[in-house]
Amino acid sequence: MLKLKTLILGALAIALASCTAQSETPTYAQRMVESHGLGDFYCNRHYQDSLSHTGWDYVSGLVANAVLKSWEQYPDKQCYYDAVKAFADFSLNEDGSFISNTKGGNALRPSNIDDLPAGNIYFTLYRTELEKGNTVDAERYKAAATMIRNKLKFDHSRIAPGLPGEGGFFHKAVYPNQMWLDGLFMGSPIYAQWQYNFGTGDEADNEASWSDIAHQFKTIHHYTYNPDVQLNYHAWSATPEDPNSFWAQQEGEYKGCSPEFWGRGMGWYFAALVDVLEFMPKEHADYEAVVKILNEVAAGLARWQDEESGVWYQLLQHDATVKADNAGDTVEGKTFNIGEQPNYLEASASCIFTYAYLKGIRLGLLDAATYTPVAEKAYAGCVKEFIREMRLSAGLNEQRIEEAWTKVSGAGMYTLDIRYDKGVLYCTINSSMVRNQLYFQKDVLVEALNEELQKDALLTWDWDKGPCVKSLVLR
């Protein structure tokens, strides 16, 4: 669900309690940003309660960047920008030379490409603070972005000379000589943004860096793309005989590749292509090669779009008739992942595909006549299948009701649990004295709750059918 909330409009994330809703009906992007209220870029994944406790990695960074992109669309929502800046400032030291995790250690682990993409927020923060005249923070953000770029370009482990795919970035140090589709999203966009914003001063280095970025796409596409299926295998190992590559095909035309075509992995790859091409110089020798890869990916995914729903399955080339074999995977005598669940329509992959199609069309990288129908059908499918059918709207309503309860009752700090079901609000209070006081005010509280909720543009409710909260149960 996190990926869905993050990616459906390219701008889904957290909300702050201080952020006031607009009077007009908000967009889905705004509802996603403003619905959480905890200030937690993990969307409560780790039960964190504020930005001052949010850890640094691709999840929190992805959500932070989505919030920042939403602010660019709705600049009057200053709370969006302030939230991202707070997240950045919590993790970054005074001169931008060190990014800390929640325990105070280095958030950038050795050759772990998943640690890098959160740094994409620094470019917008840099430009914005520079425009304000805040050169101290601007230079700090630039220094942090530069540190991440240099760590990737100069220090990150690569496939060694003499091996297939020489020069490709490891996904992680613990997975030697492995490239994953996800890694292209984790490393390449921040590398590309740095070159676009700061890399033009050294022409030779800039040229070489763009070649390096293109090399990553050309390498993984060469080894993972299956032209018959028109999809990319999720991962590839240059040393499939290595025990860490137990998943890899050990022989055949696609030796070293993982056995399946994974939806979300293709999503990361598709998004990485459009995000990099947004900044890549058109005159660079490798530009057209990367555009060609993008168009091959777009064509393949269009082929496997589910006709009925408009979205995509987790295993892209199969439908729900395909099930897990209940055998699992055996590694060193131990068996994992035993199950028999069927293939399913996958939210995060479908939303990322929608984003990449629409951005590719907007940038002129994908043919509008060919892919606009694909993107529009995908968008409608995402809203139907994953917003309405999965009752995400209901979940957002519950969050709005919880915020209204905290505001109206003044008992938020005493409320251990809150649940809304068919007009009844159930609240578990950890203080008998507070609970007794609230009990004698139940009718007043219900009336006040509905008054507050009627002012909330983020709440989806037909008031002609009666009040949203009909009764209150205190436990």
142 contacts: CB under 8 Å, gap ≥ 6: 96, 122, 126, 198
What span, in angstroms and rounded, lies between the C-alpha atoms of 314 and 317? 9
Residue 3: predicted pLDDT: 40
Q: Tell me: the pLDDT tens digits for 293-344?
A: 999 999 999 999 999 999 999 999 999 999 988 888 787 788 888 888 899 9
Q: Tell me: the pLDDT tens digits for 385-421?
A: 887 655 555 667 787 888 899 889 999 888 988 889 8
Helices H / strands E in the chain, number of each: 15, 9
What span, in angstroms and rounded, lies between the C-alpha atoms of 252 and 402? 56
Q: Look up residue 451 and give its two tokens.
A: 């008054």
DSSP 27: P
Q: Find the angle CA(66)-CA(67)-CA(72) to the nearest 5 degrees.
A: 95
Say whether 100 sits in a helix, a strand or coil.
strand
Residue 261: predicted pLDDT: 97
Average pLDDT per block of 10 residues along the chain, 475 residues long: 36 31 61 62 51 74 89 91 90 95 90 96 98 98 98 98 98 96 98 97 96 98 98 98 94 96 97 98 98 98 97 96 87 83 94 97 98 96 77 68 90 88 92 92 95 84 92 94
Is the pTM of the predicted complex or chain greater than 0.85?
Answer: no
Quick one: which of 5, 29, 355 has its CA closest to 189? 355
H or E, element range at 232 = strand 231-232
Residue 20: predicted pLDDT: 39
